[in-house]
Amino acid sequence: MAKCIMVGCDLHDKTMLLKIAVDRGQAVTQGWSTGASSRRAMMADLRRRAEQAQARRMVFAFEACGFGFRLHDELTANGIEAYVLAPSKIERSPRQRKRKTDERDAQLLLDKVRAYVLAGVEMPSVWVPDVCTRDDRELVRMRLAVAEDAAAAQTRIRWLLKRNGIESAPANPWTGSYCTWLTGLGEHGLAEGAAAALASLLRQVEWLWSEIERLDTQVLALSRTERYAALVAALSAQKGVGVLTAMVYLTEMGDLSRFANRQQVGSFLGLVPSSFESGVADDRKGHITRQGPARVRKVLCQSVWSRLNCLASERIAYDRIVARNPKHKKIAIVARMRALGVTLWHKGLAVQRAAQAVATPR
């Protein structure tokens, strides 16, 4: 059997600690910085070790973190088999959590690699999106982030008014008349410090709104490219699902064919109940897991509320669930979110398969 260099890497923003072993041999510890030159030196060192050990295979694993997938790309380009592991899938005992060090974390990851290489145990890795999907995510995520910033600025304005005893606001907030009323307050109704703060917040909201418009234009242009046009058309055909919701769903889900069934889709979206079952206690379900992309859950929730107002079948399904749980209406919303997420997966997968059938020569 050919030898294998196995590496568990505890990766941080500025440093990384490696545990390196050849097959079942003793592991050695090596530290590096995360700078570009240091990463190149680290990969050169691994190639040197492989040559000395006459190893034909190198397997490198690290946990997903803010460093992104750049290290994975560099390792793959240098012929190193790289895996990005999901922290939520790596079990840690209470003892391990209380005795956490970089060296122990690296050893734990090395043990995962050894189990995978030597015993065929499944690696708890995440799906690595292609470079184009990652770049598209940057734009769509920024659009959502700017909207959150605008909502936060609006909330700060509301609390500023409350602190200064102003509660007689117009009935419809954030309309043209409401903004005119706020501007008038800053000029005549507030003390000097509060007026300056309100003017600053209004400028922030105005800029954020204009930035949202610019980003919406860019997201719309992206949705019309060959990569997304057919998929967005299929998804946005569903009531309550707009271009932004479709783009958030597609960029966060990635390749839809990597999911085998609706159960995997619901689990990835974090919309399945958690469980704590053992022995005779075989029906103990809790809150949803909330694992996976929170951005998708947010847009699915918004879409469900929109569908409840415009789609009779959605309201009937919602009411049927509420009738079983009248004190827990959120259960009905979550159930409809999961159903919508699965429906969008089916629609998108059908488009993907049709495109692949056309592209594949007979």
Give the per-residue SS3 of 239-294: CCCCHHHHHHHHHHHCCHHHCCCHHHHHHHCCCCEEECCECCECCCEEEECCCCCH
* CATH code of the domain made up of 3-119: 3.30.420.40
Task: Note the pLDDT of residue 95.
Answer: 87
Pairwise CA distance, residues 339 & 320, whole Å: 14
Name, in order, each residue with C-beta under 8 angstroms of 339's C-beta and a sequence gap of 6 or more. Answer: 317
Give the tens place of pLDDT for each residue, 124-135: 999 999 999 999
The reported pTM is 0.92
Residues forming beta bridges with residue 82, ordered by sequence position: 60
Using DSSP's 3-state secondary structure scheme, residue 83 falls into strand
CA distance 94 to 219: 44
Bridge partners of 278?
281
Residues 171-191 pLDDT 10s: 788 888 888 889 888 777 788
Q: Cα(284)–Cα(3) distance, rounded to whole angstroms?
A: 46
Per-residue pLDDT at 281 exceeds 70: no
Q: What is the mean pLDDT of the chain?
A: 92
CB 66 within 8 A of CB 13: yes
Compute the distance between CA of residue 115 and CA of residue 112 in angstroms, rounded to an integer: 5
Stronger pLDDT, 261 or 169, i.e. the higher one = 261
247-268: average pLDDT: 96
Can you tell me whether residue 164 is helix, strand or coil? coil
* 244 touches 299 (CB < 8 A): yes
* One-letter amino acid for residue 68 of the chain: G
Q: What is the pLDDT of residue 236?
A: 96
Which pLDDT belongs to residue 274? Answer: 86
Please report, for the chain, the start and end positions of each structural domain, with discontinuous segments joined by +.
3-119, 131-223, 229-359
In this model, does residue 91 exceed pLDDT 80? yes
Residues 67-76, mean pLDDT to the nearest whole number: 91
Neighbours of 208 (CB within 10 A): 19
> What pLDDT digit, counting tens, does each position of 21-50 carry?
999 999 999 999 999 999 999 999 999 999
